[in-house]
Amino acid sequence: RVAVYDPVRPAGSLHLRAAEVLHGNWTGTSTVPSRGLYPHQWSWDSAFIAIGLRHLSPLRAQIELETLLDAQWGDGRIPHIVFNPSVPLDAYFPSPDFWRSSTAGRAAGAPRTVQTSGIVQPPVHALAAWLVHVSDPGLSRARSFLSRIYPRLAAWHRYLLHRRDLGGGGIASVVHPWEQGMDNAPSWDAPLSRVTPAPARSFRRADLDHGAAEDRPTDLDYGRYVRLATDYRDGGYADGTDGTAGFAVEDPAFNALLIASEHALARIARELGATGTARHARAERLTAALVERLWDPAEGMFFCRDVRTDELIPERGVSGLVPLLLPTLPRDTAATLVRTLYGPHFGLGGSTRLVPSYDLTGHAFDPHRYWRGPAWFNTNWLVERGLRLHGEHARAEKLRGALLETADTSGFAEYVDPYTGEACGALGFSWTAALTLDLLH
C-alpha cells in the first residue's frame, strides 16, 4: 500500500483543483488575481492569497507578501496594484502610464524601480503575515520573515492612522472607492454623485474585454473613478487633512481589517520579543472608535460615514457586517450583527446561500452586478471567521459548507449570484481558490 507513504489527495479533489488555480496564477514572485482580467499584483488579493497559499507552500506565501512590501512607498502606503512590467500597457486600465508613480509619487516616496498605483486597499497584510508565520514557524524564523516585515507593516498602519484620519475621529478614511475594494457598492453613490466624471472618450476600459458589461461597474462609475484618481495623482498623492479631498469616507470593513491587523501586529511584536500590549490596547481603542463613529443601533449594523457631510450613509452593505471579526466588539453589538445577517436584508439561513454584498431589499440590489448584490468569497470568509470567533459554531460550519460547495460548482468564480450560486465575473479567481484551501484545513 504505497498510499501509506505517499498520502496523495484523490485526483480531481477540490483541494487539488484549488491548488491548480493558484499554481496557474503564480508568476514566480506573486500571484495575479486572474490571468485575463487582473494581470498584475493586487494588495488585498495578495493578503487573502497568502492565507491560502500557506497550506501549499509557506515559502511562496512569504514571498507573495514580501514582493508586495517591496513596492511600499516611503510614506508607508502599500499601493493597491504593483505592475508587472512584462504585461502590455493596454491589458489593464488604469495602467502605469496613468498612475505615473515614480514621478507623480516622488514626494510621497514612491519606489523608483517598480511601477505601482498611488491609492491603497484594505490592510489585511499583518493578519495574513501572522497566519503565514504560524503555518510554519521554523521556516519563518529561519528566514527572519517577521523581523524583516514588521517595520514595514508598522509603517503601513502608521500611514493609515496618521495621514488618513480625515474625519478626525481616530479611524481611517478611503479617498477612492477602489481603495475600499468594493468598487461600485451603493454606499459610494451619494459621495460619488458630487464628483464630475472624466469624459468617457478620455480613457479605454480594458475590463470590458474580459468581463460582461452587465456584471461590471457602469461607464459613469468609471468616469468618476478616473476623475478622483487623476486629481489625487495631480496633487502628488498628498493626503490633506483639511477635508478637501473630493471623496473621503470612513468604511467599517476597511477599519475592521485595520483593527484585526493591529491585533496581529501585537502578536508579531510579541514573537519578536516585545510585549505587544500597547498594540492590543490601540486595537481596543480603535474598536471603540469604530462603534462610536459607524454603528447604527436602530439599524443593527455598521454604516459608512461620508466625511464631507459628516453623516452616515444609509445603505446596507456587507462591509457593515465585517466588524463581526473583532474580538473586543461589545457582546450585544456582535449578537445584533448576527441577527441582521440572518434577517431579511442578507437572508442567510433563508433565501441566500452566501452573504450578499448588498441589501436584498435595497433599491440598488442587482444579484449579478459586482458589489451591488453578488456574494464574494473574501467577505464571506471574513463573516465565517467572525461567527466562529463569537461562538456561533453551527452557523459558521453551515456557511463554510456553502462556501466550499459554491467555490467548487462555480469554478472558483470571482463572485456569484447569492441565491443560486451561479458564477459571475472571472473564473479561476485566486482568492476564491486560496480561501477554499484555508476552509478545507
Window of 39-47, 62-70, 159-167, 325-333 that interacts with ligand 9WN by CB under 6 A: 39-47
Alpha carbons 139 and 133: distance in angstroms, whole number? 8
Of residues 63 through 82, those in contact with ligand 9WN by CB under 6 A are: 80
Tell me the Ramachandran region of residue 93: left when phi exceeds 0, alpha when psi lies from -120 to 50, beta otherwise: beta
- 179 lies in the binding site for ligand 9WN (CB under 6 A): no
Which residues from 258-277 bind ligand 9WN, rule CB under 6 A?
none
Least distance to ligand 9WN, CB of residue 260, Å: 17
Rounded to 10°, the helix 125-135/58-69 angle is: 150
Q: Does 215 bind ligand 9WN (CB under 6 A)?
A: no
Out of 44, 83, 145, 295, the only residue in the binding site for ligand 9WN (CB under 6 A) is 44
Residue with cell 440598488: 364
Kindly identify the residues of this chain, within the stretch 7-36, that bind ligand 9WN according to CB under 6 A: 33
Whose cell is 484555508? That residue is 438
Residues 225 and 248 sit within 8 Å (Cβ to Cβ): no
Q: Is 221 in the site for ligand 9WN (CB under 6 A)?
A: no
Residue 42 or 145: the one with the smaller Cβ distance to ligand 9WN is: 42
What string of DSSP letters covers 383-432?
Answer: HHHHHHHTT-HHHHHHHHHHHHHHHHHTTS-SEE-TTT--EES-SS-HHH
Give yes or no: 90 in active site. Answer: no
DSSP structure class, residue 94: S
Give CA–CA dist 54/13, Å, rounded: 18
The CA distance from 184 to 222, in Å, is: 9
Catalytic residue among 250, 414, 417, 438: 414
CB of 78 to ligand 9WN, least distance (A): 13
Candidates 40-48, 241-249, 312-320, 346-354; binding stretch for ligand 9WN (CB under 6 A): 40-48
Decide: is 183 part of the binding site for ligand 9WN (CB under 6 A): yes
Q: Does 222 bind ligand 9WN (CB under 6 A)?
A: no
Segment interacting with ligand 9WN (CB under 6 A) among 37-45, 192-200, 246-254, 331-339:
37-45
Nearest to ligand 9WN of 45, 384 (CB atom): 45
Q: What pairing do the DSSP bridges indicate for beta strands 81-82 and 41-42?
A: antiparallel
Neighbours of 245 (CB within 10 A): 22
Min dist CB 270 to ligand 9WN, Å, is 30
Rounded CA gap, 134 and 438, in Å?
13
Smaller CB separation from ligand 9WN, 133 or 176: 176
Q: Is 183 a catalytic residue?
A: yes
In the complex, the residues that contact ligand 9WN under the rule CB under 6 A are 33, 38, 42, 44-45, 80, 178, 181, 183, 207
Residues designated as active site? 183, 414
